[in-house]
Structure 1
């Protein structure tokens, strides 16, 4: 049986990925704090920014597009537990990557996920503010954490489909291979 080692939890780009995650989490927290407590979006209702973009206050009790809405404490605990398990899996994946771009991408997803977990713990739901719409079609309402997650996933897909296209530098110390 393979025993757990330091490399199981920490890799060559772990620090980079966790720094990106922390920056993403803090940007999300700062924005949500400002929207809720300084700008007070809840008392303003819909704020039309452009003909296709509004600022609104929406509490998402579910996951993407409001799926699996959690109306009870048990439901919130289940969603938080699931998000934390996924975040732990992302952290383990981060320890194994050998491309900076992949580490940044995972960091973005991790920072966004933890930002939304914070909301679920603090408020029982995720605070969303951005509403894009055009030609009678309304996109779902989202927040900065959702942007980090979408960009991170997009970069992971880009790197998976076209390796090296995005200029991801491999770990030079190990010739691009994981030190394990």
Structure 2
């Protein structure tokens, strides 16, 4: 195999992690579509004493921060972050599996919410956790993936810090 072909093979070694992103996007969009078809805005279905399904429209970022900001701002931010993640995965073919999976989760979640912003002008949130009268801000599958990806990155940093 030529040196350029070998380099090319290494360069795309992390591409298989993008399946995680694709799964997140598909699961996120399917669940949001089910919510849109089944619930009117603000409808709530009690599932357990601490968990409801609800249909909310989030025009802000995570947990409705920056609500009212232009959807184009968030879409642009997603494009920049997504390009950064793809460049990282391409330029670092031997990225640790935990880091690659984390980045793929973040990418899938970011793109899942960006699809909503482009198609609807807002993000569909529907998972509502609560206890003792306090509600965690509603969220969705994309938000779960972003949070899991960030937590795994922190775990990786903590793990590597312990090794040094």
Question: Normalization by structure 2: what TM-score?
Answer: 0.85
Q: Does 1:12 align with 2:10?
A: no
Aligned to 1:53: 51
Structure 1: unaligned runs, 5 residues or longer: 1-5, 166-180
**What aligned pairs does 1:1-180 form with structure 2 within 5 A after superposition?**
10-13=11-14, 15-37=15-37, 40-42=38-40, 45-70=43-68, 75-95=70-90, 96=92, 98-163=95-160
* Superposition misfits of 4+ residues, deviation over 2 angstroms: none
Cα-Cα RMSD: 2.1
Structure 2: unaligned runs, 5 residues or longer: 1-6
Q: CA deviation at 1:16?
A: 2.2
Tell me the matched-pair count. Answer: 152
Larger deviation, residues 92-101 vs 126-135: 92-101
Tell me, in whole angstroms, the C-alpha distance in 1 between the residues paired with 2:158 and 2:123: 32
More helix per residue: 1 or 2? 2
Tell me, in whole angstroms, the C-alpha distance in 2 between the residues paired with 1:127 and 1:116: 8
Question: Normalization by structure 1: what TM-score?
Answer: 0.78
